[in-house]
Amino acid sequence: MKKRKLNGLEVSAIGYGCMGLSMGYGTAPDKDEAIRLIHRVYDLGCTFFDTAELYGMGANEQLVGEALKDRRDKVVIATKFLLTEKGTEYNTTGRLMQGLRSRLENSLKRLDTDHVALYYQHRVNKDIPVEDIAYCMGEFIKEGKIAGWGQSQATVEEIRRAHAITPLTAIQSEYSIMERTFEKDVLPVCEALGIGFVPFSPLANGFLSGKVNPETNYTGMDARRVITRFDKDNMLANQPLLDVIRQFATARHATPAQISLAWMLHKKDFIVPIPGSRNAERIEENLDAAAVTLTDAEYTAIEAELAKIEVHGNRTDEDIARLRSLK
């Protein structure tokens, strides 16, 4: 597995998003199977594992901690905290530090470790100044509790303001061939400031694998029930996109998922996608994408074809929140 750097933090060129092992896409695997999959990811050369306190209400962190306990000095673990409270809950630096410290210590306990390499703010809380969050992260770095920190779905302004206080290691936001919102402004500012970029859902929640079926009926706590790109009409409308990706995949003796990831890796050397899967074959396929190197001509040709295609549907936090109210 090739290596990349997120503002100095060395990780495998492709990481692994662990969320699906606990939640998000229907029934999760049992613990033994989940641990076996994490070990398989590691054996394939991946050293970058992503989790969060929110995933499974802490269960995912516990799972990752147990699975990687004997490999702790050979991997990079990233986790996230989420502050949903109003700013009045943390109206002093001391109260904010106390709240963040409690969350961090709980995450470290669940992960069975004394530090994490990367600690993200899961979403930027508009009621709490990013400068205050950045200051606290700087203190945790001094204490050795975290090696670096990041933001998720942040704006350029939020990135610049936070980075000026405590340099950011990485920004984790949604990015794929189907979702390129952050390409115009966030990627350039990350490049200018030396910040890494970690795309979640780099395969558009599996859509870009080319293996999804417009007739599939998703049930239970499966995010694809509310992600509009999985609406039948949108899936049919997006068929030209899959046709283009399959065309390039066939020419390179690769899969659509591998071409989608290779396109992303070619774009910038500070991009490290974190696809997640619960299928061992799909996991191997995704990680093998690190070995699929596009030529400049191939990349340019893909970009030219993508420019002709309109993408239908998306994924929003508001839609994901609706999932809890569905029966």
DSSP per position, 169-235? SEEEEE-BTTB-GGGTTHHHHHHHHT-EEEEESTTTTTGGGT---TT----SSBGGGT-GGGSHHHH
Tell me, what's the pLDDT at 24?
76
Residue 85: per-residue pLDDT:
77
3-325 CATH fold: TIM Barrel (3.20.20)
SS3 4: strand
Is the pTM here over 0.85, yes or no? yes
Other CB atoms within a 10 A radius of the CB of residue 133 amount to 25
Per the DSSP assignment, residues forming a β-bridge with 4 are: 11
Tell which residue, 305, 88, 269, has the closest CA to residue 177: 305
Can you tell me the distance from the alpha carbon of 23 to that of 158, in angstroms, rounded to the nearest whole number? Answer: 29
Task: Report the alpha-carbon distance of residue 4 to residue 233 in Å, rounded.
Answer: 38
Question: Annotated catalytic, 90?
Answer: no
Give the mean pLDDT of 163-170. Answer: 98
Q: How buried is residue 223: exposed, middle or buried, by Cβ count under 10 Å (0-12/13-18/19+)?
A: buried
Residue type (1 letter), 72: R
Instruction: List the alpha helices (DSSP H) in the chain.
Output: 31-43, 59-68, 93-111, 130-143, 156-165, 186-193, 232-237, 239-251, 256-267, 280-288, 296-306, 317-322
Angle, helices 130-143/93-111, rounded to nearest 10 degrees: 50
Residue from 25, 42, 55, 119 carrying the catalytic annotation: 55
* pLDDT above 80: residue 86: no
Mean of all residue pLDDT scores within the chain: 94
What is the amino acid identity at position 30? Answer: D
Report the distance separating Cα 92 and Cα 297, nearest Å.
Answer: 54
At position 272, the amino acid (one-letter code) is V
Residue-wise pLDDT for 279-291, tens only, equals 999 999 999 999 9
Q: Is the pLDDT of residue 262 over 70?
A: yes
Region 215-222: mean pLDDT is: 84
Question: How confident is the model over 109-133, as pLDDT tens digits?
Answer: 999 999 999 999 999 999 999 999 9
Residue 87 has pLDDT above 70, yes or no: no
Rounded mean pLDDT, 55-62: 96
